[in-house]
């Protein structure tokens, strides 16, 4: 049987490159939701209580117990093929870092990738013949990569980039969105939803204009025929 993307204990399962981005986001969300301290052990290393009391040995045992649980949880989120490549790590953070490096590269490569993505975002623009759907698909491909390498960029910056990349026919829609009182606080999803609604309205208006333009042509062809005299045979 093929492995399922979500394991029986509801932990998102990493199967390969094709679902890595989705897995990284959902895995963090699932672990954080159930146990924030467990995620700290995976992401930052052994969890250390902020107000630790008792002797050092007790604290060490607590840390080890939590890290063992974090390590097991992480292993349950990996396919067998991936797990066998990183299973030599005995610490949750090292194992997680190894998985990230497997799919994203090391720190140097990630820095190079960040630079490349930043450049792609800077030069992103509307292409001749583009519909809104294709513009969004190209932009979201870049954004999804940005979000998986801990590259910080605000919705405000993304909204400005999206609006500035659209062609002149979007002038009124852009103007309306930018003049909204809360534009700096709008979510990217909100701007996308408005643009999709605006596109639908633009298409309807275009169809109406075409229909109106077709009537004079039809009348010009039909009217003379009505004025023709019919001779009796």
Give every residue of the chain whose pLDDT is below 50, as ranges: 1, 8, 217-233
pLDDT at 231: 38
- Does 140 share its domain with 182? yes
Say if residues 162 and 188 touch (Cβ distance below 8 Å): yes
* Structural domain of 190: 107-209
Model pLDDT for residues 177-225, shown as the tens digit of each residue:
988 868 899 999 999 999 999 888 887 766 776 666 665 544 443 333 3
Total domain count, the chain: 2
Give kind and range of the element (H or E) at residue 170: none
Distance CA(139)–CA(152), nearest Å, equals: 16
Can you read off the two tokens belonging to residue 225? 């025929």
- Does 127 share its domain with 203? yes
- Sequential DSSP letters for 44-93: TSS---TT--S-HHHHHHHHHHHHHHHHHHHHHTB-HHHHHHHTT--SHH
Model pLDDT for residues 7-19, shown as the tens digit of each residue:
545 889 999 988 8
Q: Look at residues 104, 133, 150 and tell me which one is the last residue of a structural domain.
A: 104
Distance CA(194)–CA(102), nearest Å, equals: 38
pLDDT at 53: 54
pLDDT at 160: 92
């Amino acid at each position: 049987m093929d492995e399922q993307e979500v394991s029986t204990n509801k932990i998102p399962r990493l199967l390969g490159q094709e679902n890595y981005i989705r897995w990284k986001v959902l895995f963090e969300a699932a672990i954080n939701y159930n146990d924030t301290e467990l995620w700290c052990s995976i992401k930052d290393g052994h969890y250390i209580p902020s107000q630790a009391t008792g002797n050092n040995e007790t604290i060490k045992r607590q840390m080890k117990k939590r890290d063992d649980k974090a390590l097991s949880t992480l292993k349950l989120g990996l396919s067998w093929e991936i797990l066998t490549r990183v299973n030599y790590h005995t610490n949750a953070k090292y194992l997680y870092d190894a998985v990230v490096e497997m799919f994203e590269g090391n720190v140097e490569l990630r820095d190079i990738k960040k630079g490349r993505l930043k450049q792609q975002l800077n030069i992103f623009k509307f292409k001749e013949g583009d519909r809104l759907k294709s513009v969004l698909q190209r932009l979201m491909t870049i954004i999804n990569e940005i979000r998986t390498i801990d590259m910080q960029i605000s919705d405000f910056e993304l909204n400005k980039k999206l609006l500035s990349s659209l062609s002149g026919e979007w002038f009124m829609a852009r103007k309306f969105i930018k003049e909204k009182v809360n534009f700096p606080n709008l979510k990217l999803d909100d701007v996308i939803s408005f643009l999709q609604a605006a596109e639908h309205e633009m298409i309807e208006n275009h169809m109406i204009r075409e229909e109106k333009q077709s009537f004079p042509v039809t009348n010009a062809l039909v009217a003379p025929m009505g004025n023709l005299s019919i001779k009796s045979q």
